[in-house]
Amino acid sequence: MKTIIEPFKIKSVEAVKTTTRQQREKILKKAYYNPFLIPAEDVLIDLLTDSGTSAMSAKQWAGILDGDESYAGSKSYIRFEQVTKKIFGFKYIMPVHQGRAAERILFTMLTSKIDKDGRFINVGNTKYIPSNNHFDTTRANIEFNGATAMDLVIEQGKHPSKIHPFKGNMDLKKLEKYINKIGAKNIPVCMHTITNNTGGGQPVSMENIKGVSKICKKYKIPFFIDACRFAENAYFIKTREKGYANKSILSICKEMFSYADGCTMSAKKDAFANIGGFIAMNDKNWYTQCKNLLIITEGYETYGGLAGRDMEAIAQGLEEILDESYLQYRIVSTKYLGDRLLKMGVPIIQPPGGHAIYVDAKGLLPHIPVDKFPGQALVAALYIEGGIRAVEIGSVMFGKYDEKGKTIPADMELVRLAIPRRVYTQSHIDYVLEIFESIKKKSKKIKGIKIIEEPKFLRHFTAKFAPAS
């Protein structure tokens, strides 16, 4: 087998600090067992997220120095616009400071009616937005506006050990049934997340994208794509879907977005940038409404809350992510971690996804009930054992309460090991494997976690926890 090596060389390094187990126990307790509250300098291997944590290239840093900070119509915006239109193909592109800003603008517009004075009046309680799986901020922006976010991923996508080449697909039969139940007039948009972050970084097939598009056109429902990891998804299509093996990544990307009416994107993922994103669409009326919201809260339409240097970095990153040799390395290196975890008996979502490995915490820690959050317990154990920071994607992130205050669990109890792009070497990943091997041996001793304080929305970011008795 041909050895896959990093298609880049390291030009700058950053020191990391090591801590003792005793120190980490104190740090975690002070952070209320929430990895988001741990100071970054006290983390050895940071797998909390791949968002904004990538190593930028020399050309991206050069672009930052060359950034044009003109308030309106800067040359950096013009380059940003040219690159995004080349890849995504939509008529109107608006930069924003990150993906959730794009979501806020889009869903505020979609859950409102405009009064005679041009003000947005919320009517969100009458709106329903289906997707394969909405991720945390997407769901929060929908629900904050009073609307209902519905997940319609295929059944295989709900079972970690089941093998399917495109577990991120939306269930087309469920989508059409849902439209007929709710009524097309109550569905302002249908979303599709590629790759499916909630479901394990699993890809979506071109056939499925086309199928969703066809149903949306049938019922005259606009179709948007959450494009955070579009290039990784395109690589999976190239390597797994019939008829795409000889097509370029760019041509696959163009085809994916040709079936949609618009997209939102956090450029902090596949664009290698530390900040930024955009919202794109073809409808002029929607563009005008979104532009008004953008100018009120983000900035003028040619900077949208970003410095010119950030738009330069995004434009360069979007061109670099289309490099097939990089994408091959990215997917293979993620698979390396997943395959070795499976070999040692640690259950994960299979097959390994693109940007992260998702450990099945309920499978690894079956003695911890879902209302004691096995995923959060595993996150705590990873930090104490080896200074590794990860994130729970289960009933802390997506669980709800019934009328009696009892936990309604998420479909799966997962821990995401998100791998920052171009940051860690194989020896770092081998260290992660060593820590998992140690944890597995003492897994029965790991205790559950309870919530002692939480906000109404996105509780995993700021909630406080303690060991459960």
In angstroms, the CA 125 to CA 65 distance is 46
Cα→Cα distances 267→47, 99, 123, 296, 314, Å? 18, 7, 30, 22, 7
- Nearest residue to 195 (alpha-carbon basis) of 334, 376, 343: 334
CB 39 within 8 A of CB 28: no
Helical segments of 298-407, H only? 308-320, 324-343, 361-364, 374-386
CATH topology of domain 21-50+324-467: Aspartate Aminotransferase, domain 1 (3.90.1150)
In angstroms, the CA 410 to CA 184 distance is 27
CATH topology of domain 58-320: Aspartate Aminotransferase; domain 2 (3.40.640)
Q: Does pLDDT of 2 surpass 90?
A: no
Question: What's the start-to-end Cα distance of the chain, in Å?
Answer: 50
Q: Domain coordinates of the chain in residue numbers?
A: 21-50+324-467, 58-320
Q: Does pLDDT of 1 surpass 60?
A: no
Distance from the Cα of residue 38 to its chain's centroid:
21
91-128: string of b/e by CB count within 10 Å (b at 16+)?
Answer: ebbbbbbbbbbbbbbbbbbbbbeeeeeeebeeebebbb
Task: Please tell me which residue, 405 or 11, carries the higher pLDDT value.
Answer: 11
Q: Does pLDDT of 248 surpass 90?
A: yes
Pairing relationship of beta strands 464-467 and 449-453 according to DSSP bridges: antiparallel
Cα→Cα distances 364→396, 440, 468, Å? 17, 8, 18
In angstroms, the CA 6 to CA 4 distance is 7
Q: Does pLDDT of 114 surpass 90?
A: no
In angstroms, the CA 190 to CA 225 distance is 8
Backbone phi and psi for residue 420, each to the nearest 5 degrees, phi listed first: -60, 145
pLDDT band for position 257 (cuts 50, 70, 90): very high
Amino acid of residue 465 = F
CB 420 within 8 A of CB 53: yes
Residue 456 has a pLDDT of: 80
Q: Could you give the percent of the chain with pLDDT greater than 70?
A: 100
Residue 143 has a pLDDT of: 92
Rg, C-alpha atoms of the chain: 22
pLDDT band for position 399 (cuts 50, 70, 90): confident
Sheet holding 223-226, edge to edge: 92-96, 277-281, 262-266, 223-226, 190-193
| pLDDT tens for each residue of 411-422 | 889 999 999 999
Q: Does pLDDT of 403 surpass 90?
A: no
Task: Please tell me which residue, 322 or 5, carries the higher pLDDT value.
Answer: 322
Residue 337 has a pLDDT of: 97
CB 388 within 8 A of CB 429: no
Q: Does pLDDT of 80 surpass 60?
A: yes
Residue 450 has a pLDDT of: 93
Residue 195 has a pLDDT of: 93
In angstroms, the CA 256 to CA 426 distance is 32
Residue 122 has a pLDDT of: 87
Q: Could you give the percent of the chain with pLDDT greater than 90?
A: 86
| pLDDT tens for each residue of 40-77 | 999 999 999 999 999 999 999 999 999 999 999 999 99
CB 90 within 8 A of CB 299: no
In angstroms, the CA 322 to CA 234 distance is 9
| pLDDT tens for each residue of 148-204 | 999 999 999 999 899 999 999 999 999 999 999 999 999 999 999 999 988 889 999
Please give the average per-residue pLDDT across 290-311, as a whole number.
94
Average pLDDT, the chain: 94
283-308: string of b/e by CB count within 10 Å (b at 16+)?
Answer: eeebbebbbbbbeeebbebbbbbbbb
